[in-house]
Amino acid sequence: MNPKISDFGMARIFDGDQIAANTNRVVGTYGYMSPEYAMEGQFSTKSDVFSFGVLLLEIISGKKNNSYYQENSVNLIGHVWDLWKGNSALEVVDSTLGDSYQAHEVLRCIHIGLLCVQEFSSDRPTMSEVVFMLCNETTLPSPSQPAFIFKRATTGDSSSASVGTASINYLTISQVQAR
C-alpha cells in the first residue's frame, strides 16, 4: 500500500507479473526525464527527484512543462527560472488560486522545485531532503540553473520571425521536414 508516481506509458511494456525490467533504450515522458537519463541513459534516485521537481512546478502553475509557452521561454522550467532570477516568481502561480495561498509557502515550494530540477544530479537534494525541506522552515541553498531550459529564437524582423529551439547545453536539435 505504498503509493508511487509512475510513468504509465512505460508501465505498459511490462508483463502483468513483472515488478522490474531492463530496457535497451531511453523510455519515459519528455519534460519529466532527468538530463542524465535523457542524454546518457543513466538513471538514479536523483532522476526521480528531477521528475518530482517538474511535477511540483506544474502544480503551482497549473501548466504542463512540455507544452508551456510564455514570453520567450518554451517550457515551464525556463519560465520559472527567469521569474526566479527577476525576483517575481509568484507570477507563475495559477490564477485560479486567487489569494487563497500564503506567498512565503508558495515561494518555498518554487524554491524547492528549482532545487529538484538542477542540471547536475549531484546538486539535487534527495527525496528525504525534499520532504524535510517541505515540512520544516530551514534555510534553503540557492538553486543553480536548471537543465533543459529552451528559449524561442526569433529573427530581427518580427514580421518574419522563425521559431526554433536552442539548448543552453550547446546541443543541436534537428527538425525533419518533408519536401
For 5, 50, 119, 143, 146, the CA distances from 123, given in Å and listed in that order, are 22, 11, 8, 8, 10
For residue 134, is pLDDT > 90?
yes
pTM: 0.70
* pLDDT for position 127: 92
Tens digits of residue pLDDT in 9-56: 555 555 556 555 555 666 666 777 777 777 767 777 788 898 899 999
Longest dimension (CA), the chain: 58
pLDDT at 136: 93
Asked if residues 168 and 149 have their Cβ atoms less than 8 Å apart, the reply is yes
Looking at residue 114, what is its pLDDT? 96
End-to-end alpha-carbon separation of the chain, Å? 53
> Average pLDDT of 70-94?
84
Average the pLDDT over 57-79 and give the result: 78
Which backbone phi and psi does 41 adopt, to 5 degrees? Answer: 75, 15
Residue-wise pLDDT tens digits, 58-68: 999 998 887 65
Residue ranges of domains in the chain, CATH in brackets:
30-147 (1.10.510.10)
Of 14, 36, 32, nearest to 23 by C-alpha is 14
Range of lowest pLDDT (48-62, 70-84, 105-119, 125-139): 70-84
Place of cell 530581427: 156
Quick one: how far is CA 168 from the chain centroid?
15
Q: What is the rounded CA–CA span in Å between residue 28 and residue 67?
A: 16
